[in-house]
Amino acid sequence: HTVGDDAEDGGTQDQEKKERVAREAMASLEDSLPIFLQTIWDVSAMDIETTLRSVTDKVLKDISVPWQIRHRRARAMLRLARIFRDVGQVEHTDLSQASAAKQHLEEALYGAIKERG
């Protein structure tokens, strides 16, 4: 048993500790993934709703066009809203479990990468 052996044992232990800490951090991140996704979804939905409300007001209250045009715009927007509602009801994935959230995120990222080329 020499001083060099102690240094090697310490280096091995340090490396193992770093790997353990990294695994624990990754597990913690994966456990938090549903919360992150829900938060991102909530913020995105709020932004979309705010933008949509503003655009809707401008399109439907545009006094530079006759009321008939505004009425047709309103009917078209209602039709579009129904389409979005119907599409949104087709698939509802429960992302409260970390594994489901991770799989859903991976599929979304893969799809985005595939679309780019």
**The predicted structure's pLDDT at residue 53:** 94
- Amino acid 101: pLDDT: 76
| pLDDT digit string, tens, across residues 81-113 | 999 888 877 766 676 777 777 787 788 888 888
**Helix (H) or strand (E) run with residue 101 in it:** helix 98-116
Per DSSP, 6 falls in state: H
For the chain, give the number of residues. Answer: 117
Q: How does 75-99 read in b/e, with b if 16+ C-beta sit within 10 Å?
A: eeeeeeeeeeeeeeeeeeeebeebe
**Prediction pTM value:** 0.55
CA atoms within 13 Å, Cβ hemisphere of 31: 6
pLDDT tens profile 14-66: 888 888 888 888 878 777 888 888 899 899 999 999 999 999 999 999 999 99
Assess contact for 95 and 101: CB atoms under 8 A: yes
Cβ count near 25 (within 10 Å)? 10
